[in-house]
């Protein structure tokens, strides 16, 4: 604990330094024998990770063979990826992956805040290969500055006062982010109702191609791509859809699509750091391609040709959770040669009639509503196919207006992006400030010292005495239990 050693001289003289082994005990949780949904017998909440983090209780027990906690107790995740995370405010039977920390003449909230400061230190030094656990050698040897008890109260009061203000600020920032998300949706809705470009459309009537001429040109283009036959198209039920301007029309996405193709699947042995980049569903975020965690495949030139993504293609996610299936992004220019995995569909549009960014924006606002009705559902996942994607209704405006709509959306979104960037920065700074408050608190620089306070040395002596007393009492209880078992004949001696 280099940081703590460096701070020894910075803490007030009335404080002492100790370690967690000296001042704490813990009670490890245990999975009860009787556990299930709440009923007349099972009434005690079972505090598992979900209950611990989100205060959501979904299992109950009767208390048999359980270790209990109260709302004032501090719990710590002992086993699992979040090991070292502390929490409080729940009562019930302690889950098998949690432990309760037993304090002796110590303000529990002081300990809680100190362990929050040490979370990264504990979590990044776990024990175990498969499931990580808190390493006892790390945890119990953590050093802690111990102020007088009444000063602990003052420190906790000041921390929570400042954190209340910080939390209020963070809540305001989260509300701003929520409002920005709603604004994005409002911009898209206005765009595809024709309201965003209403003035532009009225000012450029002479430049907008009539719907009939547009349909005829599109029909000729379709004949070229289908061997001389126009594509057959069933009527669109526009009930529940937007009422469009007279120069617009509802079409099916397949009518303006040159081709659709599912991605490539390869076993793991074909993955290599020297292969061709392969975009996965994780590389589609908020309507954009995100170049991160790129997997690479060893492919033949024929496979690369068949599955290569070109600038302007739309990559659509066809397998995902129900709320994310159908997310899409336009392939940008200057991207290195890459293909796409089988959980995605490549959509290549008729560029003479539809703008790819226009369609991508439409997918952002309409995909969830559409695929909630049409996607197939399996255990935990939803999927869509080319036929469903092809049948999706699209509000088609003249190409010139599509490009104006894209321009207006991108302008509005660029402003939102800048605001969101500032909000995210402020939220990051708020979390840094939280850590700074804690550090200042545990250096003795947050609350005032009072020379009349009982010195921390005496507090530490009492804690040691209380801890030793509890240990002796537990040994006595164990001896009594052992004696009763002998009397009942449950322990046999082998001579």
How far is residue 200 from each of residues 97, 221, 397, 408, 411, measured CA to CA in Å? 62, 28, 13, 11, 15
Question: What is the CB neighbour count within 10 angstroms for residue 91?
Answer: 14
- Annotated domain spans of the chain: 2-148+454-487, 209-397
94-103 residue pLDDT tens: 999 999 999 9
Q: Which contiguous run of DSSP H or E holds residue 434?
A: helix 399-442
In which band, very low, low, confident or very high, does the pLDDT at 377 lie, cut at 50, 70 and 90?
confident
Angle formed at CA 91 by CA 47 and CA 84, multiple of 5 degrees: 55
In eight-state DSSP terms, residue 332 is: P
Say whether pLDDT at 226 is over 50.
yes
Task: Read off φ and ψ for residue 443, nearest 5 degrees.
Answer: -100, -5
Q: Is 186 a residue whose pLDDT tops 70?
A: yes
> 342 phi and psi, to 5 degrees?
-70, -15
Q: Report how far residue 207's alpha carbon sits from residue 386's, in angstroms, rounded to the nearest whole number.
A: 35
What pTM did the predictor assign?
A: 0.79
Q: Do domains 2-148+454-487 and 209-397 have the same CATH topology?
A: yes
* Dist CA 123 CA 78 (whole Å): 10
Q: Could you tell me which of 345, 341, 316, 319 has the C-alpha nearest to residue 328?
A: 316
How confident is the model at residue 212, as a pLDDT? 73
The span from the CA of 82 to the CA of 383, in Å, is: 31
Sign for the CA dihedral angle at 15, 18, 20, 23 comes to negative
| Spatial separation of the C-alpha atoms in residues 296 and 284, rounded to whole Å | 16
Q: What are the helix and strand counts (H, E) for the chain? A: 14, 25
Class of domain 2-148+454-487: alpha beta
Diameter of the chain measured on Cα atoms = 110
- Tokens encoding 46: 């079972």
Residue 199 neighbours by CB under 8 Å, 6+ apart: none
Other Cβ atoms less than 10 A from the Cβ of 155: the count is 24
What is the Cα 492 distance to its own chain's centre?
55
Query: Over the stretch 438-493, which tens digit does the pLDDT of each residue have?
Result: 999 999 999 999 999 999 999 999 999 998 888 887 777 667 766 666 666 655 54
Query: What is the bridge-based pairing of β-strands 44-47 and 92-94?
Result: parallel
Q: From CA 28, how far away is CA 68, in angstroms rounded? A: 10
Separation between Cα atoms, residue 98 and residue 74, nearest integer Å: 10
User: How many C-alpha atoms does 27 have within 13 Å on its Cβ side?
Assistant: 18
Rounded Cα distance between 36 and 39, Å, is 9
CA atoms within 13 A on the CB side of 490: 6
Three-point CA angle 259, 262, 264, nearest 5°: 130
Residue 4 confidence (pLDDT): 52
DSSP assignment letter at 270: G
Tell me the pLDDT tens digit for each residue of 325-363: 999 999 999 899 999 999 999 999 998 889 999 999 999
CATH topology of domain 209-397: Adenine-n6-DNA-methyltransferase TaqI; Chain A, domain 2 (3.90.220)
3-state SS, residue 144: strand
Angle, vertex CA 13, rays to CA 7 and CA 17, nearest 5: 55
- Pick from 349-363, 367-381, 401-415: least confident: 367-381
Give the per-residue pLDDT at 405. Answer: 97
pLDDT tens track for 153-175: 999 999 999 999 999 999 999 99
């Amino acid at each position: 604990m280099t940081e703590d050693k460096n701070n020894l001289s910075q803490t007030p003289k009335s404080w002492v330094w100790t370690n967690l082994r000296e001042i704490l005990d813990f009670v490890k949780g245990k999975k009860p024998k009787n556990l299930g949904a709440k009923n007349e017998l099972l009434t005690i909440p079972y505090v598992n990770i979900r209950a611990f983090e989100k205060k959501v209780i979904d299992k109950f027990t009767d208390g048999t063979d359980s270790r209990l906690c109260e709302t004032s107790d501090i719990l710590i995740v002992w086993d699992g990826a979040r090991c070292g995370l502390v929490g409080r405010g729940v009562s019930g039977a302690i889950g098998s992956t949690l432990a309760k920390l037993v304090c002796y003449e110590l303000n529990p909230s002081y300990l809680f805040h100190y362990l929050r400061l040490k979370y990264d230190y504990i979590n990044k030094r776990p024990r175990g290969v498969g499931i990580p656990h808190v390493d006892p050698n790390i945890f119990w040897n953590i050093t802690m500055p111990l102020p007088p008890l009444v000063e602990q109260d003052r420190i906790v009061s000041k921390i929570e006062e400042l954190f209340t203000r910080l939390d209020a600020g963070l809540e305001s920032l989260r509300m701003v982010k929520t409002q920005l998300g709603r604004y994005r949706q409002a911009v898209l809705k206005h765009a595809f109702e024709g309201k965003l470009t209403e003035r532009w459309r009225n000012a450029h009537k002479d430049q907008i191609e009539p719907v009939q001429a547009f349909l005829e040109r599109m029909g000729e283009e379709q004949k070229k791509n289908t061997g001389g036959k126009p594509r057959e198209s069933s009527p669109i039920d526009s009930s529940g859809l937007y009422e469009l301007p007279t120069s617009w029309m509802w079409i099916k996405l397949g009518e303006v699509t040159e081709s659709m193709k599912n991605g490539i699947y390869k076993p793991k042995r074909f993955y290599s750091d020297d292969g061709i980049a392969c975009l996965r569903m994780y590389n589609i975020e908020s309507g954009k391609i995100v170049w991160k965690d790129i997997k690479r495949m060893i492919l033949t030139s024929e496979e690369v040709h068949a599955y290569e993504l070109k600038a302007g293609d739309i990559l659509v996610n066809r397998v995902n959770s129900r709320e994310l299936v159908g997310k899409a992004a336009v392939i940008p220019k200057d991207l290195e040669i890459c293909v796409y995995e089988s959980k995605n569909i490549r959509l290549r549009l008729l560029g003479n009639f539809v703008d790819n960014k226009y369609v991508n924006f439409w997918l952002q606002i309409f995909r969830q509503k559409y695929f909630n009705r049409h996607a197939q559902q399996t255990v935990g996942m939803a999927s869509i196919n080319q036929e469903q994607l092809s049948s999706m209704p699209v509000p088609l405006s003249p190409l010139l207006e599509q490009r104006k709509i894209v321009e207006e959306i991108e302008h509005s979104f660029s402003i939102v992006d800048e605001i969101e960037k500032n909000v995210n920065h402020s939220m990051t700074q708020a979390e840094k400030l939280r850590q700074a408050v804690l550090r200042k608190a545990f250096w003795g620089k947050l609350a005032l010292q009072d020379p009349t306070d009982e010195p921390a040395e005496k507090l530490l002596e009492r804690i040691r005495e209380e801890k030793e007393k509890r240990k002796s009492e537990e040994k006595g209880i164990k001896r009594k239990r052992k004696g009763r078992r002998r009397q009942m004949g449950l322990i046999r001696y082998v001579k």
